[in-house]
Structure 1
Amino acid sequence: MPRSPRAHVTSLESISIQPRTPKTPRSQGANGWTPADGEGDEVELSLLGEDERRQAADGLTVEEEQAYLSQGEKKSMSAKDKRAMGLLIILYLIQGFPLGLALGSLPFLLREHLSYSQLAVFSLSSYPYSLKLLWSPIVDSLFFPSIGRRKSWIIPMQLIIGTLMLIISFNAERYLSDPSEHIYSLSVAFTTLVTLSATQGIAVDGWALTLLSQDNLSYASTCQTIGLNTGYFASFTVFLALNSESFSQKWGIPRLHLSTYMQFCATFSFLVTVWLLFVHEDKEADDEDLSIKSVYNTMWNICKLKHVQVLCLLHLFAKIGWAANDAATQLKMVEKGLGREDLAIAVLIDFPFQMFAGWVAGRWSRGEKPLRPWMIAFWPRLLLAMVATLIVYWFPTPPISFGFFVVLIIQTVVSSFAGTVQFGGISAFHTRIADPVVGGTYMTLLATFTNLGGTWPRFFVLKGVDLFTVATCQIKEQGLAVKAAECVSDHGKHACEDIGGECVTERDGYYIVSAVCLGLGVISVIFHMLPTARKLQAVPASKWRGM
């Protein structure tokens, strides 16, 4: 068993799930924005512990003291909020279906037939999710009042997603049988799907801020995590296992084809959309209406802050050290004989450890130095990326022994834990520095650069693997060795076989690209990442809110 579960972790890691920051109503005074009457005290109180609240209540009447102390007590969740959470989880689930296919399953299915350069083209389909900030103001600003601000976008997006998945399903098996002939069609189709899912996600994120009550608003990120992860998990791990011929033969169940699964996803999307027609969307306050120009101006003002610029630059290169590991290691495992059912089992084992790691990371990221776990986790991630490269090098001929399987699972779990710790630390830091007045825009901006740091290197890594690979087509009978332009994909191998030869890789570009990424990662961590992170962590919160 190889370190394949990182495919699951990595892809989701590139889709940063940031905690939602509610819009804080403010009134504008002579000196700028100030909290509305009583709001500042209420927020301050919620941050106090029980003892501090009792000390603050000294000198009040009994009634005033009880009211004062009750502000810190948690209220039970209402039935309306429970229904709202169920709705949000389902909407995020629909968003996760196409993402799991585009970022997870399809690269593994296509790897059997395509070169790394061709896979690099398909990898571009994941980019729209990291760039949705560019059109999020349009989604927030344009809508039909008779339908609802959020449903005006969610309903058509889900109808188009379902329709497109249905159309793709009719040609899915033909595309997979000879993907080299349809690589651009596949890339355009799944780029469109990811763009539609990102647009639906913008609207769902916005609806979560008003669908849940103020007391339970923190559960919005919980709904996002559960729904998005479940949808992604179903389209990636579960589908890959059920799509495997050996898995279906072993367990005596019918093989699940891509066309059938996409038809299921389309049907689910249509049914939820019909249900949405009967769900009432409360009208949002007029003072929260946004103009496209004002939101873009807000983003521009945030980007002009010096510390934000430094942080965004940090995000763009923070993941360069393990970029080759994230983009190509799992594909190399498949090339060396990794079975899809083994991948599914490995991810299933790793999944509960990820949940536990998320809880640990949340606790560790508290305090005055939320970036500390993010900085510390750099070293194990770089080390484990190097270990993964060595595992590819020493990968045994299948079947894989139980001892090797155990080593791979341990390596996977530790690597996932380090990644989750980093995510928890940077999320906590974003929450701390974001200006509540423009919290949603601020958080989305930072999340965009976090996502880009994991997605932009993927294309160049996959291209580099082919660029640095040296392969020859050796014709044994004639004793000839002809340099092959490409001897990795089915097309290249068949071309070699047609002239009576066999593809032999003399130099694998994967190891060169991995070494370059690891080298750049170590240098950047020592001389840029850690020193810059320490400086940013010491910047007062007021400096991040200088708009």
Structure 2
Amino acid sequence: MEPSAKLKKNSQLPRADLPQFYLLVALYFVQGIPVGLAFGAIPFLLKSMAKQTSFTSLGVFSVATYPYSLKILWSPIVDSCYSRKIGRRRTWIIPVQLVSGLILILLGWMISHNYIFEGVDNAFHGLPIGLTNVNIMSLVWYFGLLVFLCATQDIAVDGWALTILSKQALSYASTAQTVGLNIGYFLSFTVFLSLNSNDFVNKYFRAEPKPYGWVSLGGYMKFSGIVYILLTMYVVLFTKERPPRVRNLALPQTTNQGIEKAELEYQDGDVATDEKDTQDIGYIYRCFLKVLGLPPIRMLVFIHLIAKVAFQCNEGATNLKLLERGFKREDLAVTVLIDVPFEIIFGYYVAKWSSDADQSRDGAHGSILRAKREGALQRINRFFVGDAGVLTPWLWGILGRLTAAAMGSFVVARFPSDGQITTGYFLLVVFQHLLGSFMNTVQFVGISAFHTRIADPVLGGTYMTLLNTLSNFGGTWPRIIVMSMINHFTLFKCVAENGVTFVRGTGELCTTELMGTPTLVRDGYYVVNTVCVLLGIVLYFGFLKREAQVLQKLPVSAWRCT
């Protein structure tokens, strides 16, 4: 169904949807807290506090993030098993968030007492500084459990977004997700690492230096657990499964008296379908299998699995390479802090961009007329991303991230040999990070808006989870391979008393096993990043752009199982 002319003129978030929008932001925010720890802060602490940590070990720890990419396996259970009295989504959100909060508090206490991740908080307790006896697999289990709970909550929240927001506000579900997740992620990653760093706090806030920062990892996790529990109490006491059906507040329609009136529409997939069906796990799985058989879904699955390979070396290793070269942790934290307001503010406009682009489709005749009057700039735009549509921001996001990935090698290669960071080099690092991170947000919001547009509310969380899981998995399955390949292609020459030996991996092997002096011969980072970027360019212009044009022009009915 094409949007009406009046809807095209008013693509703003309806005022009646604001309470539901803010609730979604809060739910995604708490979800972003453990995600920021597992995806960002913990690998950063491992590499910066124990420089001998290999990229292979970091790749192993990335297994803890896999539940976020495999949640489709249990999403039909979340969709079909629920209490009618509590609500289809609240049945899962309430207990999962409560358990997550309690586990965060418990893990925070265990870290503070050196039962796990020994040594990470020693500076805050007057103990010798440095990681000791780090068991990577134990960290994988503990943080993997947190990510599993986050993934389960995400299934329920994604499904709730389809029915708690009106149809006019659905494109802003991705904005709520972007804003909430980014705030939680950056709070747990960038902000936490900054306040955890004694160098950062001493440099910018303290007159008298101290050997510790302001916030310990254990203390931060305990505080986060309390936030989880407080939000859960709010959901229990002050929310309902379905919002009241508000009228006369959204799309202007002038009456005879000249009063502007309107009506909000909602996607009541779980209301339109017999509730016995939605509580039948067999029915949900049958619908799910039917969706998987749809040709557009199969194509989208393949696109998601290959579209992010090109960025993995840059996003997984560039910052770590800068740390390895001598870039200070507090300075790197500042570069990321600068990015936070851009992520939050512009997430809204990217969602509006997707909505406006989707509404600009005008058929073949309109395309011919537009081609006649378009100028050079428009022709360039069409060359890079094709016809405007809901996937246009996603396509620009790919190009931006490819550019940032190519810049990553340049930034690392230009690191000052004397270790003195000049203002010009610092600004270069800021720009490269800002470009990659912002284009990641553009791509995320664009594809999330597309997912929300095509998802069948009868399947709710399962459908959204399928699409989001595939998108996430496309960014996680290559990571362990790419990180391992960096070690494989890195070559050191070890000069020892008994001769010269060449070893792959890290220079630590020279000193620990061969007792030699390591000299870097070839940095595998440059090899792998170059291969990733070239592969990304070929995939984009040879396949992704063309197929995105096809998918965004399909009617919504082509994506539905009901």
Tell me the TM-score normalised to structure 2 length. Answer: 0.75
Q: Work out whether 1:530 is the aligned partner of 2:545.
A: yes
Write the distance in 2 (CA, Å) between the matches of 1:504 and 1:135. 49
Write the distance in 2 (CA, Å) between the matches of 1:118 and 1:327. 13
Structure 2 partner of 1:521:
536
Deviates more, 1:466-475 or 1:323-332: 466-475
Q: 1:179 to 1:149 in 2, by over 3 A?
A: farther
Structure 2 partner of 1:313:
302
Q: 1:160 to 1:485 in 2, by over 3 A?
A: farther
Measure how far apart 1:454 and its partner are.
1.2
| Counterpart amino acid of residue 413 in structure 2 | Y
Measure how far apart 1:183 and its partner are.
0.3
SS at match of 2:43: helix
Deviates more, 1:240-249 or 1:276-285: 276-285
Deviates more, 1:513-522 or 1:141-150: 141-150
Q: Work out whether 1:97 is the aligned partner of 2:33.
A: yes
Measure how far apart 1:207 and its partner are.
3.9
Q: Work out whether 1:48 is the aligned partner of 2:5.
A: yes
Write the distance in 2 (CA, Å) between the matches of 1:75 and 1:449. 28
Write the distance in 2 (CA, Å) between the matches of 1:126 and 1:306. 29
Correspondence list, 1:217-232, <5 A: 220-232=173-185
Q: 1:480 to 1:181 in 2, by over 3 A?
A: farther
Structure 1 partner of 2:512:
495
Residues 476-498 of structure 1, C-alpha deviation per residue, up to 9 Å, x if partnerless? xx374444565356xx57626xx
Measure how far apart 1:138 and its partner are.
0.9
Q: Work out whether 1:408 is the aligned partner of 2:429.
A: yes
Q: Work out whether 1:272 is the aligned partner of 2:226.
A: no
The answer to whether the 8 Å contact 1:115/1:488 transfers is no
Instruction: Mark the runs of 5 or more structure 2 residues left unpaired by the alignment.
Output: 121-129, 243-269, 362-387
| Counterpart amino acid of residue 403 in structure 2 | L
SS at match of 2:156: helix
Deviates more, 1:129-138 or 1:415-424: 415-424
Write the distance in 2 (CA, Å) between the matches of 1:74 and 1:414. 27
Q: Work out whether 1:392 is the aligned partner of 2:388.
A: no
Measure how far apart 1:377 and its partner are.
4.8
How many equivalent pairs are there? 477
Write the distance in 2 (CA, Å) between the matches of 1:440 and 1:73. 25
Write the distance in 2 (CA, Å) between the matches of 1:129 and 1:51. 35
Measure how far apart 1:106 and its partner are.
0.9
Structure 1 partner of 2:487:
466
The answer to whether the 8 Å contact 2:170/2:452 transfers is no
Correspondence list, 1:409-428, <5 A: 409-428=430-449
Q: 1:483 to 1:332 in 2, by over 3 A?
A: same
Instruction: Mark the runs of 5 or more structure 1 residues left unpaired by the alignment.
Output: 1-42, 53-71
SS at match of 1:307: helix
| Counterpart amino acid of residue 463 in structure 1 | S
Deviates more, 1:120-129 or 1:320-329: 320-329
Measure how far apart 1:237 and its partner are.
0.8
| Counterpart amino acid of residue 93 in structure 1 | F
Correspondence list, 1:199-238, <5 A: 199-209=152-162, 220-238=173-191
Structure 2 partner of 1:37:
none
Structure 2 partner of 1:297:
286
The answer to whether the 8 Å contact 2:159/2:460 transfers is no
SS at match of 2:519: strand
The answer to whether the 8 Å contact 1:173/1:259 transfers is no
Q: 1:264 to 1:74 in 2, by over 3 A?
A: closer
Measured on the aligned residues, the alpha-carbon RMSD in Å equals: 3.3
Q: 1:443 to 1:88 in 2, by over 3 A?
A: closer
Write the distance in 1 (CA, Å) between the matches of 2:162 and 2:451. 18
Write the distance in 1 (CA, Å) between the matches of 2:31 and 2:552. 34
Q: 1:153 to 1:347 in 2, by over 3 A?
A: same
Residues 481-540 of structure 1, C-alpha deviation per residue, up to 9 Å, x if partnerless? 444565356xx57626xx754433222211121122122222222322233333434545
| Counterpart amino acid of residue 433 in structure 2 | T
Percent identity over the alignment is 42
Measure how far apart 1:423 and its partner are.
3.5
Higher RCO structure (Cα 8 Å, ≥6 apart): 1
Residues 67-121 of structure 1, C-alpha deviation per residue, up to 9 Å, x if partnerless? xxxxx9999746xx66555544333222111111001111111113210111000
SS at match of 2:532: helix
Correspondence list, 1:65-84, <5 A: 77=15, 84=20
